[in-house]
Amino acid sequence: MQVYSFTSQKQAGLEDLKIHESTIPSPKPNEVLIKVDSIGLNPVDYKLIESPSPDFDYPHIFGLDAAGTVVSVGKDVTDFTVGKRVSGHNNLANNGVFAEYAVYPEYCLAKIPDKISFEQAAAMLCGAMTAYQAIFRKMNLTGKKNVLIHAGAGGVGLIAIQLAKLMGLIVITTVSTSKTEFVKPFHPDKIIDYKKEDVTAEVMKYTKGVGVDLILNTVSGEAKADIEERLAYNGQLVWINEAPESIDQNFLAQRGITISALNLGGAHRSNSYSQKRDLGVMAAELLNLVAQEKLNPCITEILPFNQLVNGLEKLYHHDTVGKIVVKVSK
């Protein structure tokens, strides 16, 4: 089978990611082998390629998100059978899904509803699950009225806007000038062009000086301002990338502010089976929302397998909106 891999630990960077031939893997007792149809690309993919884990075995296949058809199962697998259509967010510590065939732990897979295409299923994994986990697993929505979602045109932001609107929240989002028109059809209540406007001033003006109840932060360097300048009393910040800068604990206590970290893929490496299984549960719930036409996967480009690196380069240079999907099966 064809795979995108590094053959040695001396390699790093998108320029080194090439197609190689590899043997089709066999699933272990609790694993499922799928024939990959579609791959969802994510920023974490190029980050791992630029800085590979020292724990990787070589040759190492990259990629986390895929949808395809089950072709074999391990002896202990009970929920999936050959021929079923599935998708999942894989464990970055293992060989990945930039391949014609990929192995998944059973717990993280979701069955794809009949109405959903492989491309849609592949698009609703890492970014969409991050948004879902932030809003439905981390945020306390009780009594909350509004949310600030950074980077509204990105893979996380676009799904988060839609989920927040489904929950009846007033949505404020930040975007760059070139992406404002793309975000408008998703109906955020307030769009802040961070290239031209002061985010804090616009947030406080829109909330009449109160601040926002909730913030989903996907932008490095904004967390300190979110906490100290933009959150309302009893507000909550969910952050994804880098840890917030040193914050005065007395300030947090006086304002009743809560800070929550989100690490979607870390569940794979936890000792909690329920958290591991929740990866599959969240993926399935998102697919059901798409099937009910309550969510738009926001696919903006579908590339052939031989152009996968081009897609990653677009993500690396922030030269894209929405979701890029790679089609493996011809």
DSSP structure string for 17-31: -EEEE-PPP---TTE
Is the pLDDT assigned to residue 330 strictly greater than 70?
no
| Section 255-263 average pLDDT | 94
SS3 216: strand
| Section 267-283 average pLDDT | 97
Which pLDDT belongs to residue 242?
A: 72
Question: Among 269, 179, 192, which Cα is nearest to 226's?
Answer: 192
Digit-coded pLDDT (tens) for 196-217: 999 999 999 999 999 999 999 9
Task: Pinpoint the residues of the chain covered by CATH 3.90.180.10.
Answer: 2-124+266-327, 127-262
Residues whose CB is less than 8 angstroms from the CB of residue 47 and which lie 6 or more positions away in sequence, other chains included: none
Mean pLDDT for the chain overall = 95
Digit-coded pLDDT (tens) for 23-74: 999 999 999 999 999 999 999 999 999 999 999 999 999 999 999 999 999 9
Is the pLDDT assigned to residue 237 strictly greater than 90?
yes
Residues whose CB is less than 8 angstroms from the CB of residue 92 and which lie 6 or more positions away in sequence, other chains included: 44, 48, 53, 64, 265, 268
Is the pLDDT assigned to residue 156 strictly greater than 70?
yes
Digit-coded pLDDT (tens) for 143-152: 999 999 999 9
**Range 2-124+266-327 has CATH code 1.20.120.1150:** no
pLDDT tier for residue 227 given thresholds of 50, 70 and 90: very high
DSSP structure string for 5-67: EESSTT--SGGG-EEEE-PPP---TTEEEEEEEEEE--HHHHHHHHS--TT--SSEE---EEE
| Section 104-123 average pLDDT | 98
How much of the chain, in percent, has pLDDT values that exceed 70? 100
Distance CA 26, CA 139 (A): 39
Question: Among 304, 283, 317, 302, which Cα is nearest to 46's?
Answer: 317
In this prediction the pTM is 0.96
Which pLDDT belongs to residue 238?
A: 96
Distance CA 111, CA 108 (A): 10
Residues whose CB is less than 8 angstroms from the CB of residue 51 and which lie 6 or more positions away in sequence, other chains included: 12
* Cβ contact 262:130 at 8 Å: yes
**How is domain 127-262 classified at the CATH fold level?**
Quinone Oxidoreductase; Chain A, domain 1 (3.90.180)
Is the pLDDT assigned to residue 308 strictly greater than 80?
yes
Distance CA 31, CA 73 (A): 6
Distance CA 281, CA 284 (A): 5
